[in-house]
């Protein structure tokens, strides 16, 4: 989903949403980023403009589909930015593109996600009874409160949400192939899903360099601290733009 495309762009930022998220996560970003940045967002099946398509429940088939869609059209300098489940998918997509001989990103930003080689300390949620699954969603603080009071909307969203959780929770890291580019790991100061040491652990998969940065907030700091996050992203993209040829 393109939120800004320009013939004068020097860098393309590709957003990978969190579980239950949509391409709309990046809709406001162009207002906070320089005009020379194109902004695209991956729209997973099963939501918004792809509501009629079946959601994926496993990471690798979804990564292959995303890579197939991105491979033909990544011009110039490219940065992937993924949040939570999207961070895992951004990393795997970057690695898949490089391994298959396609254009890989020049930089990878992973937000709110522990390194994928670490074990998951949380009980899987995707198959929990509905009341327990909804309780987990509430604790994450990423779903608007009004959604929980709207039975018909919940019925529409729950299969997609469970599928996304399954993508994240069933992934097993069995390939230590590293990221094909430098990595920046972002976290929230109060995010139990990605503690500072778990962000630092991305170093094992980032031989071309890792930097980490914390922002005030919980798992959804990308939303609550958006201005500060995008200012930091702008610094990263400026570095890429200065190398554009």
Task: Report the C-alpha gap between 228 and 225 in whole angstroms.
Answer: 6
For 244, the 3-state DSSP assignment is coil
DSSP secondary structure code for residue 173 in this structure: -
For 70, the 3-state DSSP assignment is helix
Task: Report the C-alpha gap between 125 and 179 in whole angstroms.
Answer: 28
| DSSP H or E stretch at residue 80 | strand 77-83
Tokens of 209: 């360099």
Of the residues 84, 100, 115, 177, only one is catalytic, namely 84
The gap between the terminal CA atoms of the chain, to the nearest Å, is: 26
Tokens of 57: 């429940």
H-state helical runs in 71-220: 85-99, 130-140, 151-169, 196-200
As to burial, measured by CB atoms within 10 angstroms (0-12 exposed, 13-18 middle, 19+ buried), residue 57 is: middle
Please count the other Cβ atoms lying within 10 Å of the Cβ belonging to residue 4: 18
Question: Could you tell me if 112 and 184 are in contact, meaning their C-beta atoms sit under 8 angstroms apart?
Answer: no
Q: Confirm whether 115 is a catalytic residue.
A: no
Task: Report the C-alpha gap between 215 and 168 in whole angstroms.
Answer: 23
Active site residues: 84
């Amino acid at each position: 989903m393109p939120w800004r495309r320009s013939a004068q762009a020097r860098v393309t930022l590709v957003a990978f949403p969190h579980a239950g998220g949509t391409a709309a996560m990046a809709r406001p970003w162009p207002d906070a980023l320089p005009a020379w940045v194109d902004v695209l967002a991956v729209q997973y099946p099963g939501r918004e403009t792809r509501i009629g398509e079946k959601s994926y429940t496993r990471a690798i088939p979804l990564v292959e589909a995303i890579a197939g869609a991105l491979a033909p059209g990544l011009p110039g300098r490219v940065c992937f930015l993924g949040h939570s489940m999207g961070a895992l998918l951004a990393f795997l997509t970057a690695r898949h593109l490089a391994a298959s001989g396609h254009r890989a990103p020049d930089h990878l930003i992973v937000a709110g996600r522990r390194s994928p080689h670490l074990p998951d300390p949380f009980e899987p949620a995707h198959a929990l009874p509905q009341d327990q699954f909804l309780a987990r969603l509430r604790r994450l603080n990423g779903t608007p409160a009004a959604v929980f009071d709207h039975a018909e909307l919940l019925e529409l969203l729950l299969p997609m949400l469970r599928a996304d959780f399954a993508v994240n929770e069933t992934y097993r890291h069995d390939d230590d192939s590293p990221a094909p580019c430098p990595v920046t790991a972002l976290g929230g100061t109060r995010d139990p899903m990605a503690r500072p040491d778990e962000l630092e652990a991305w170093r094992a998969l980032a031989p071309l360099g890792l930097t980490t940065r914390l922002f005030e907030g919980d798992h959804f700091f990308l939303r609550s601290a958006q201005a500060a996050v995008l200012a930091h992203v702008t610094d990263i993209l400026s570095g890429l733009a200065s190398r554009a040829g």
